[in-house]
């Protein structure tokens, strides 16, 4: 068993006991081909929650600072995370994300770029739109509805693919594509509160 599967198994047990996630809409995630999972971001637990509840293995971007610790860097790399420099255009991270999608794998993104301090959905950054525009990936919106409190049920909702054909055809800019993705995430939150 590789480290990703082992970590997913162990973390999954913990999450099921402590946060009892109710998962809705897993069937919307395609079994094959490139996929981008875009979720709101309310806690440091969001990447493990999405990683455990998504039916496919996910490659996540993580802030570069986490990779400065040698031990942590080794662990993050083995569980398919890769670094991104926040607050600037990181060409290496963009290239690596596109390579993951070209290989038909799944890329996990939190378009807001940082956790919401209020729990309310924030403005998405253009990065998610960049990956969606520059690839043929199916974009699946994901909503995590908390709160993250011990033994209180957490909801994780995977929505239907974001309708991007028109935006791609019209060569919409990355921010417009991100805005469409964020609107779908917000709809999921409003529908399942």
Distance CA 147, CA 164 (A): 31
Give the pLDDT of the chain (193 residues) as one tens digit per residue: 588 889 899 999 999 999 999 999 999 999 999 999 999 999 999 999 999 999 999 999 888 888 998 888 888 888 889 988 876 678 899 999 999 999 999 999 999 988 887 878 989 999 999 999 999 999 999 999 988 999 999 999 999 999 999 998 898 999 999 999 999 999 999 999 8
This prediction's pTM? 0.93
Helices (H), ranges, the chain:
3-18, 46-53, 70-78, 91-102, 126-133, 165-169, 174-192
The tokens for 26 are 């897993």
Q: Distance of CA 114 to CAs 117, 121, 143, 157, Å?
A: 9, 11, 15, 20
**Domain boundaries along the sequence of the chain:** 3-192
CATH architecture of 3-192: 3-Layer(aba) Sandwich (3.40)
């Amino acid at each position: 068993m590789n480290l990703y599967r082992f970590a997913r198994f162990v973390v999954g047990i913990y999450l099921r006991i402590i946060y009892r996630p109710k998962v809705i809409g897993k069937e919307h995630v395609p079994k094959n081909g490139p996929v981008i999972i875009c979720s709101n971001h309310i806690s440091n637990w969001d990447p493990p929650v999405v990683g455990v509840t998504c039916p496919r293995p996910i490659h996540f971007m993580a802030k570069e600072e986490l990779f400065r610790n040698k031990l942590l860097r080794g662990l993050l790399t083995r569980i398919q995370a890769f670094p991104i420099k926040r607050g600037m255009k990181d060409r290496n991270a963009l290239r690596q994300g596109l390579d993951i999608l070209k290989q038909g794998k799944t890329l996990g993104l939190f378009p807001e770029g940082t956790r919401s301090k209020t729990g309310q959905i924030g403005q998405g950054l253009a990065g998610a739109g960049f990956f969606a525009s520059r690839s043929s990936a199916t974009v699946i919106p994901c909503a995590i509805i908390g709160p993250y409190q011990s033994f209180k049920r957490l909801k994780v909702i995977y929505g239907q693919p974001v309708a991007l054909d028109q935006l791609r055809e019209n060569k919409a800019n990355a921010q417009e594509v991100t805005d469409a993705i964020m609107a779908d995430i917000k709809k999921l939150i409003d529908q399942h509160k």
